[in-house]
Chains A and B, each alone.
Chain A
């Protein structure tokens, strides 16, 4: 079974600074997808960024980028120019590329952005 580990229960960053959230995963599969979701206090899970395992290029979405290290099974999220609205719980998630479509989540990292 796949597992996802987020080793940082809480992180804080100053507004306009950069922060990196860590995620590691364990799998024996070669085809899979990785995601970062954001959950603000409203509880709505919002997709931040996703990465296909077969792609070597790291995904980027505006101020959000990932460092995908397939051999190390590491998938960290970098938030640049942090904004107050980035404050939320961040979840790393894994999805198999086969028919096992469910998402397996890490336990989350609570990000605080200080003004």
Chain B
């Protein structure tokens, strides 16, 4: 079956512009995660969605970052007024759902964002 897909693959934007990054999870997966991979910072958790529950936004670095998940499937990560320090690879992952004791997060190929 299809894996996690993300679009665009690469995005170049100017400082101050807004960007939207999209994630399509594996069909049937109710849990969805966003991570950021920055040079020198490794992978950092951003936000987590589980079904219809309120998302865990504890990893979002500032109020310029937001995410939504429509219909329990596709998710969009929005970065407003982008800054150069937002340049990173944004990875999305999905899993069956945390009701499954041991589960694996499956990752997409990521979106590489470059803010000029």
Contact = CB atoms under 8 A, between A and B. Distances in A.
Contacts, number: 50
Contacts of A45: 91, 93, 107
B-side interface size class: 20 to 34
Interface in B63-116: 89, 91, 93, 98, 102, 104-110, 112
A102 B45 contact: yes
Interface in A10-58: 33, 35, 37, 42-47, 50, 52
State the majority secondary structure of interface residues on B.
strand
B75 to A, nearest CB: 15
Nearest to A42: B109
A114 to B, nearest CB: 25
Contacts of B106: 47
B42 interface: yes
Interface residues of A, number: 22
A43 to B, nearest CB: 5
A107 interface: yes
A50 B102 contact: yes
A99 interface: yes
A95 to B, nearest CB: 8
4 closest A-B pairs (Cβ-Cβ)? A45-B107, A105-B43, A102-B45, A107-B42
Interface of B: 31, 33, 35, 41-45, 48, 50, 56, 59, 89, 91, 93, 98, 102, 104-110, 112
